[in-house]
Amino acid sequence: MFYIRTDANSIIGSGHVMRCIAIANSLKKVGVESVFITADRESKKIIMPYGYSIICLDSVWNQLEYEIDILSELIVKNNIDKILIDTYYVTENYLMSLRQHSKVIYIDDLNKFIYPVDVLINYNIYAESLELKKCYNNTKTKLLLGCEYAPLREEFRGRLLPNREKVINVLISTGGTDTYNFAGKFMEYIIRNNKFRDIVFHIIVGSFNQNEDMLNHLAEMNRNIILHYNVTRMSDLMLECDAALSAGGSTLYELCACGIPTISYVFADNQLQVVNEFSRQNIIYYAGDIRDNPDICLESIEKRLEDFIKSKNLRKSLSIKMRTLVDGFGADRITQQI
């Protein structure tokens, strides 16, 4: 049995849980079952459909110090020899305390300190630039770095986007919450400016989205807006589309595996390094921070989308770069290492 400590909710979204599910699915293929450990029951609706058991700590998802004793007791009671942790709220003391009882594997995006863990996973496009090998040189920590370890579900393997002549369908992915109502603001912007009337926009409405009423109203009033709830095969929906607008985060790596030309934006500081590096390498365009000046961000997206519409060759070039970067086998590579 393998144990995974992670959370999802209306504030942090579902990205942590979804990438852990990808790893759990990979482990299941080699005969290892997984159990998820969560602070509360908000993650249940995401995890349960995949068939995994959940242990709820009844703790506080962003104050992990207070759960050390109960989680340590759980580890000892269940003879847990390895535990995967995926949450931004770890502290050095938290990890060191758990490591006294079990091997600790940690998925990191923030590089906040030298993590006292047995295995560190940072699959981000910028991971190599952090010089982590030098930082961990005098430790026993195994490093799994770079996009080859991006933990995507099996559905993202071997998918190839047809290089269609025209941009007809555009995907909008805003994460599990869409805290700043990007989808609603963008649709209002293009409706107000009478733009892209011939394009069908497919909006993924995440599990914790707080803007459903507005989005439903927009979809009722505009036939070129389609809302998608509880998507079970995200890769199929992506491949129906010719381009995508996406928040920074794990979805960018899924879009890479499918080769969907993408324009990104951010709504959280932890997304900035990802989108800036994708932009620097001219793989995914970055349109701006929706928090700072929404109008500038939306105008930039409009211009980039017009570039996609005008140039089939541009879309093809970006698609090739994206699929070269991410092949969809990252979860299996992690499984082999842990």
Task: Please state, in angstroms and rounded to a whole number, the distance separating the CA atoms of residues 122 and 147.
Answer: 8
pLDDT class of 24 with cuts at 50, 70, 90: very high
160 Cβ contact partners less than 8 Å away, ≥ 6 residues apart: 259, 323
Placement of tokens 């929906």 in the chain: 237
Task: Please state, in angstroms and rounded to a whole number, the distance separating the CA atoms of residues 27 and 30.
Answer: 5
Express each pLDDT in 167-207 by its tens digit: 999 999 998 889 899 999 999 999 999 999 999 999 999 88
Spatial CA neighbour of 149 closest among 120, 131, 111, 123: 123
Express each pLDDT in 263-321 by its tens digit: 999 998 989 999 999 999 999 999 999 999 899 999 999 999 999 999 999 999 999 99
Q: Which whole number is the average pLDDT over 128-152?
A: 95
pLDDT class of 109 with cuts at 50, 70, 90: very high
Domain 2-145 architecture = 3-Layer(aba) Sandwich (3.40)
Percent of the chain exceeding pLDDT 90 equals 91
Contact 180, 291 (CB under 8 A): yes
- One fold for 2-145 and 156-325: yes
Q: Which whole number is the average pLDDT over 129-154?
A: 95
Q: Which whole number is the average pLDDT over 247-272?
A: 95
Q: Which whole number is the average pLDDT over 10-36?
A: 96
Q: Which whole number is the average pLDDT over 214-227?
A: 96
For every residue of 11-71, DSSP letters joined together read TTBSHHHHHHHHHHHHHHHTT--EEEEESSSTTHHHHGGGT-EEEE----TT-GGGGHHHH
- What is the pLDDT at residue 327? 95
Placement of tokens 């381009």 in the chain: 243
Q: What Rg, from alpha-carbon coordinates, does the chain have?
A: 20
- What is the pLDDT at residue 206? 86
Task: Please state, in angstroms and rounded to a whole number, the distance separating the CA atoms of residues 203 and 196.
Answer: 15
Return the DSSP state at 9.
Answer: B
- What is the pLDDT at residue 176? 80
How far the first Cα of the chain sits from its last, in Å, is: 13
Task: Please state, in angstroms and rounded to a whole number, the distance separating the CA atoms of residues 296 and 302.
Answer: 10
pLDDT class of 230 with cuts at 50, 70, 90: confident
Percent of the chain exceeding pLDDT 70 equals 100
Q: Which H helix or E strand runs over 235?
A: helix 234-239
Phi and psi at 57, nearest 5°, equal: -85, -15
Contact 250, 275 (CB under 8 A): no
Spans of all domains in the chain: 2-145, 156-325
Task: Please state, in angstroms and rounded to a whole number, the distance separating the CA atoms of residues 336 and 338.
Answer: 6
Q: Which two tokens stand for residue 202?
A: 């497919």
Residue 50 has pLDDT above 90, yes or no: yes
- What is the pLDDT at residue 210? 87
Task: Please state, in angstroms and rounded to a whole number, the distance separating the CA atoms of residues 99 and 97.
Answer: 5
Domain 156-325 architecture = 3-Layer(aba) Sandwich (3.40)
Spatial CA neighbour of 281 closest among 146, 99, 159: 146
Mean pLDDT of the chain: 95
